[in-house]
Structure 1
Amino acid sequence: MMFSVKANKIFQEAIDTYHIKDDVNQTFSNPYNDKEELLAHLLYRKCWIDTVQWHYEDIIRDPEIDPVSALALKRKIDASNQDRTDMVEYIDSYFLEKYKETKAKSGATINTESPAWGIDRLSILALKVYHMEEEANRTDASQEHRDACQAKLEVLLEQRTDLSSAIDQLLVDIENGDKYMKVYKQMKMYNDDELNPVLRGKK
């Protein structure tokens, strides 16, 4: 089975499970054991984080949201962004370990992004597909709205096919030594007590 088939299936599972309750405060449970199915465990967790944050972003755009609540939610979004970045790095660590014995061929090249950052975009794309499909089938919306959303959905589905193919090809190229992985940590500065001058001043 190609990697993207497995990933897209897990992303859909996470999104469907979230929407049973459709509540950003619901308890998270990972159906994949991190000892037996580490990659599946990471992919499911990654998409769950993205799904919750998708709905955070909807809520905070409410023009009538209470400012105090908005600030508290902004803090949650910041924490979620950090979790998202951490999960990307965990997934890249998985692939680094998997391919650590692979010897890069002479002339092997590096990709513009690591596998996990491509996977990050694939997870977000799964959410776009899910919610655009909802809009295309809304019974309380106009036919014009549904038609416009259906056209957008078709583009998103094509994009997912292309991105899935590109990720699969990248992993094959890494496994064959035609490309090599080189991962840079994100080194976000605004969350660091020493690197963010505002936080540093509060110590």
Structure 2
Amino acid sequence: MKFTEKAWQIFNQSINDYHIYDDVNRTIENPYDESNLIEHLLYKKNWIDTVQWHLEDIIRDPQIDPVEALSLKRWIDKSNQERTDMVEYVDSWFLQQYANVEVKADAKINTESPAWAVDRFSILSLKVYHMQQEVDRTDATPEHIAACQTKLDILKQQHQDMSIAIEELLEDFQNGSKYMKVYKQMKMYNDESLNPVLYANKK
């Protein structure tokens, strides 16, 4: 099975498992232990994305209590950090996979690491799932359903295109025509020593 086929399958497994309860407070029950490391990471990554997708919906409620909204914003910030951490774990797995590849003299670097492509792939799986929900609605107008079907068709084409692009990138790493160089995401806003608002309040 190709990597993208496995990833897409695991992402949808995570999404479907979440929607059994559809509860942002539910703790993850990862069916893959760490002996199946990449499967474990992909499932956890998508679970974080899925919960955050629904947090983003909830916080946009125009009637939301401001105190609750602030709490959700903090939660979303924490989720963003966890998402970034998961991307870095996935990149570490890729680095290990290609550690012994002989890099060609004219090898090129890619604009993004494979795990950040996987991050977009995970979000795409959520877009497809939720757009399909809109298409399947029985309480929406025919115009709404038709518009959503058009968008769903585009998302499915994007799934095909991204699958090809990711597989080609991994093949380039495997044959040494591209090499990985990972920059750890140096986020500043959650760091008390880097965010001016946070370190000013510590004085």
Normalised by the length of structure 2, the TM-score is: 0.98
Offset, 1:27? 1.8
Q: Is it true that 1:86 corresponds to 2:85 in the alignment?
A: yes
SS at 1:130 equivalent: helix
Partner of 2:22: 22
Give 1:1-203 correspondences, 5 Å limit: 1-34=1-34, 36-203=35-202
Q: Distance in 1 between matches of 2:38 and 2:189?
A: 29
Unmatched segments (≥5 aa) in structure 1: none
| Aligned partner letter, 2:75 | K
| Aligned partner letter, 1:138 | R
Offset, 1:199? 0.7
| Aligned partner letter, 1:16 | N
Offset, 1:101? 1.0
SS at 2:115 equivalent: helix
Runs of 4+ in 1 over 6 A off after TM superposition: none
Offset, 1:28? 1.0
Q: Distance in 1 between matches of 2:102 and 2:42?
A: 26
Q: Distance in 1 between matches of 2:171 and 2:19?
A: 34
Deviations, residues 58-104 of structure 1 (Å, cap 9, x unaligned): 00000000000000000000000000000000000000111111121
Q: How many residues align?
A: 202
Aligned-pair identity in percent equals 64
Normalised by the length of structure 1, the TM-score is: 0.98
Q: Distance in 1 between matches of 2:55 and 2:42?
A: 20
